[in-house]
Amino acid sequence: MATISDVAEKTGLSKATVSRVINNHPYISKEKRELVYKAMEELGYQPNPSARRLRGQLTNTIGVIVPRIVNPFFSYLVDAMEQVAYENNYQVLMFQSDEKKDKELYFLNLLKTKQVDGLIMTSIENDREVIESYTEYGPILFCNEYKSRSDLPVVRVDQAEAAYLGTKHLLDRGYRKIAYCTGGLFVEDGKDKDRNVGFQKALNDYNINVNTGWVFVNKHTIEDGKHVMKQIAEMRERPDAIFTGSDEIAAGVLMEAKALGMKIPEDLAVIGFDDQPIAEMIDPALTTIRQPIKEMGTESVGMLLRLLKNHPLEQKHQELSVELVVRSST
Amino acid sequence: MATISDVAEKTGLSKATVSRVINNHPYISKEKRELVYKAMEELGYQPNPSARRLRGQLTNTIGVIVPRIVNPFFSYLVDAMEQVAYENNYQVLMFQSDEKKDKELYFLNLLKTKQVDGLIMTSIENDREVIESYTEYGPILFCNEYKSRSDLPVVRVDQAEAAYLGTKHLLDRGYRKIAYCTGGLFVEDGKDKDRNVGFQKALNDYNINVNTGWVFVNKHTIEDGKHVMKQIAEMRERPDAIFTGSDEIAAGVLMEAKALGMKIPEDLAVIGFDDQPIAEMIDPALTTIRQPIKEMGTESVGMLLRLLKNHPLEQKHQELSVELVVRSST
DNA sequence: TTGTAAGCGTTATCAG
DNA sequence: CTGATAACGCTTACAA
């Protein structure tokens, strides 16, 4: 593989000069500059990123950690980030943490060892202190998830408002017995907490208390949704609506309801979360809360790039708004 | 950040010895070995991969190029690869080529510059010669896509058989006027070609000629599917069934059909491809051809790891079988 | 069993 | 404007 020395030799110049050309330094004669370009072209020369990194260079690469790439919310989010990064001449490396602490640590180490210039975390497994300790090596930004006591930059949607909006919608439609799914496991922190707050607030507006028998925790998948529906079907006193917390769960609920011969929304109104492609395709089409995925991606990458250029951030916390998408399931 | 020198200093040993410990060389006294481990622990030392790479080391990282991560087929495929790689102590870097030659080249260069030890390509944008020239720097393996005249290792499903199976199913059900979608643009090569062959073969079995007015090329998305359905609806002589080539397109067809008040499968039978999650969720549930995604991922990573260890490959071409999943759309 | 020293490909510093 | 040189962190002959 051609190295900078090869280019230097071929042009009769020094490595230093070649390096300057590569890095667009000023004060180089036009002829030599072009000479170098020509030689680079002919040799198929590509700078070796490892060597550059060793010298402490930036890599024009940012890393994005997602919990599960098969979750469309995250694949679309990464996709949006990729677009913006590409326009700014940055590459995106995607990592799947699988919700495992050790994998997440591995990726944080990529920052430590300068494999990536900065990191966007769309999920958080390790403790706040652990993650913050890595900011020494490059900027880290939370997108979607966050830790409330951390002062790392965050791009997120107002989850409390989102949950409030969705629950309010159900209440406005006349449903009063509302079940609730959450992905979190009684977390004290982060977005699940916020959603709980919004849910409660909406119920409060209507002077309704939460029925803890209708609260399902640690739910994520389509299978979980089916299971929830089964449980509900067996209840003596059933809810008349359910806030599912994700379109996957909602889809599972819908499918199982269909299998059980129940009518949506007559027997049970269902509201999803995310507005994923399936929301529109499933029957009945899902009422859901649309997260501004594109905007989240754009905003995160934008902020991270500003951070990388040491530009000051106008605000460390970007809070985006959600939108209620009413379809046929409520 | 702690370096090997720090560890050496702290232990009073030389860098060389520390390096030997890190790399599990034999002939090191137990005491020193433990001394080094202790110091590494205390300093939070992590070897710098850039330095290692510069020395020509392996990185225990493999790269996977996908065209579009938002396509569930690919996100599930990468996910499957990730599992196996992780079990073998390898990390997976995911890249989205966006079906662009230049992006793909960027990723190929990661191999050239030893950022990844090997590469799995699930899509191919550049010419065969270009890609093969990169095998000089590390093993490359095709998964899903392939170039027929290339002798790079391939893991794929028998697309001809798959298309044959699907088309045969339609014919067996009594449909005779079969429309056909393909992602390829009259390609001479790769999987689209194979599918065309399978499609034709099935029709031949029934002595039916392809109606070119019912062939749609370069179709990929849900939107494409809707568009196809619109076109069909406007035809004077309509097909009675359609082989869509992907569940996305099939979903689009179904949605548009519903919008137009058409009955599936009575007015038009629809068969998808991939058996993605939506296939089961959409109404009517989609008859489709299941690709062995998990197996493809497992097999690809397994082959690549063998290649990386210079183990001989029993066979360079793994061909996996598909399965027809009959639901309600045909 | 351990240490010394060279070198991987870059770029920054300093000197012209 | 250009060139020599050191340094980044690591591994590996070679020597001891």
Digits of tens for pLDDT over chain B (330 positions)?
Answer: 789 999 999 999 999 999 999 889 888 999 999 999 999 998 888 888 889 988 887 788 899 999 999 999 999 999 999 999 988 888 888 889 988 998 898 888 888 877 889 999 999 999 989 999 888 888 999 999 888 788 899 999 999 999 999 999 999 999 999 999 988 765 556 677 889 999 999 999 999 999 989 999 989 889 999 999 999 999 999 999 999 999 999 999 999 999 999 999 999 999 999 999 889 889 899 999 999 999 999 999 999 999 988 787 888 899 999 999 999 999
Tell me the Cα Rg of chain B.
25
Residue A95 lies in a domain: yes
Residues of B in contact with A95 (CB under 8 A): 93-94
Structural domain count of chain A: 3
pTM of this structure:
0.87
Does A330 fall in a domain? no
> Which nucleotides along chain D are within 7 A of a protein C-beta?
1-13
What average pLDDT does the segment A46-74 reach? 89
**Stretch (H or E) spanning A6:** helix A4-11
Asked whether strand D has any atom less than 7 Å from the CB of A32, the reply is: yes
A274: left (phi over 0), alpha (psi -120 to 50) or beta: left
In chain B, which residues have their Cβ closer than 8 Å to the Cβ of A76?
70
Q: How many CA atoms lie within 13 A of A165 on its CB side?
A: 20
Q: Please check whether residue A96 lies inside any domain of the structure.
A: yes
Name every chain B residue with its beta carbon within 8 A of the beta carbon of A86. Answer: 98, 103
Inter-chain CB proximity B69 and A70 less than 8 Å: no
Same structural domain, B74 and B167: no
Residue B282: which CATH number? 3.40.50.2300
| Closest CA relative to residue B81, chosen from B65, B66, B96, B92 | B92
pLDDT of residue B190: 67
Residues B42, B72 within the same domain: no
Average pLDDT over chain A reads: 91
Which protein residues have a C-beta closer than 7 A to any atom of strand C? A 1, 3-5, 15-16, 19, 22-23, 45-48, 51-52, 54-55, 57; B 12-17, 20, 26-29, 31-32, 51, 54-56
Cβ within 8 Å, pair A282-B280? no
Higher model confidence: residue A49 or residue A140? Answer: A140
Helix (H) or strand (E) segment spanning residue A98: none
Is B177 inside a domain boundary? yes
What is the model's pLDDT at position A115?
Answer: 80
* A265 preceded by a cis bond (ω within 30 of 0): yes
CA distance B288 to chain A (A): 16
Nearest residue, CB atoms, A50 vs list B53, B96, B222: B53
pLDDT at A238 over 80: yes
The Cα B330–Cα B316 span in angstroms is 37
Asked if residue B85 belongs to a domain, the reply is yes
Q: Are A254 and A286 in contact (CB under 8 A)?
A: yes
Q: Do B112 and A86 touch (CB under 8 A)?
A: no
Contact B94 A96 (CB under 8 A): yes
In a domain, B325, yes or no: no
pLDDT of A176 strictly over 60 = yes
Residue A326 lies inside a defined structural domain of this protein: no
Domain that holds residue B104: 61-157+293-320
**Cβ atoms of residues A292 and A157 within 8 Å:** yes
Residue A156 sits at φ, ψ, to 5 deg, of -155, 170
Q: Which nucleotides of C are covered by protein (CB under 7 A)?
A: 1-13
A61-66/A118-121 β-pairing? parallel
Q: Let me know if residue B54 belongs to a domain.
A: no
Same-domain status, A192 and A263: yes
Instruction: Give yes or no for residue A262 having a pLDDT over 80.
Output: yes
Question: Which residue in chain A has the smallest CA separation from B284?
Answer: A283
Residues in B touching A137 (Cβ below 8 Å): 1
CB contact under 8 A, B79 and A91: no
Task: Round and report the angstrom distance from CA (A33) to C1' (D3).
Answer: 16
- Do B305 and B279 share a structural domain? no
H or E segment to which residue A75 belongs: helix A72-87
At residue A188, the pLDDT reads: 58
- pLDDT tens readout for residues A181-234: 988 765 556 677 889 999 999 999 999 999 989 999 989 889 999 999 999 999
B190 and B230 housed in the same domain: yes
8 A C-beta contact, residue A36 and residue A17: yes
Q: Which of A83, A117, A281 to mutate to test the interface with B (most CBs of B within 10 A)?
A: A281
Burial category of A230 from C-beta neighbours within 10 Å (exposed 0-12, middle 13-18, buried 19 and up): middle
Do B188 and B225 sit in the same domain of this protein?
Answer: yes
Same domain for A173 and A265? yes
Contact: A79, B96; criterion CB under 8 Å: yes
Burial class (CB in 10 A: 0-12, 13-18, 19+), B256: buried
Chain centroid, CA B89 distance in Å: 21
For residues A255 and B282, give the distance between their C-alpha atoms in angstroms, rounded to a whole number: 9
C-beta atoms of A48 and B70 within 8 A: no
Q: Are residues B36 and B90 in the same domain?
A: no
Mean pLDDT of A118-136: 92
**What's the CA A25/C1' D2 distance, rounded, in angstroms?**
13
Q: Are residues A286 and A300 in the same domain?
A: no
Give residues 56-115 of chain B lying near strand D (Cβ < 7 A): 57
Q: Domain check: are A278 and A225 in the same one?
A: yes
Do residues B184 and B284 both lie within one domain?
A: yes
A277 touches strand D (CB under 7 A): no
A92–B96 C-beta distance less than 8 A? yes
Q: How confident is the model at residue A309 (pLDDT cuts 50, 70, 90)?
A: confident
Residues B163 and B153 in one domain: no
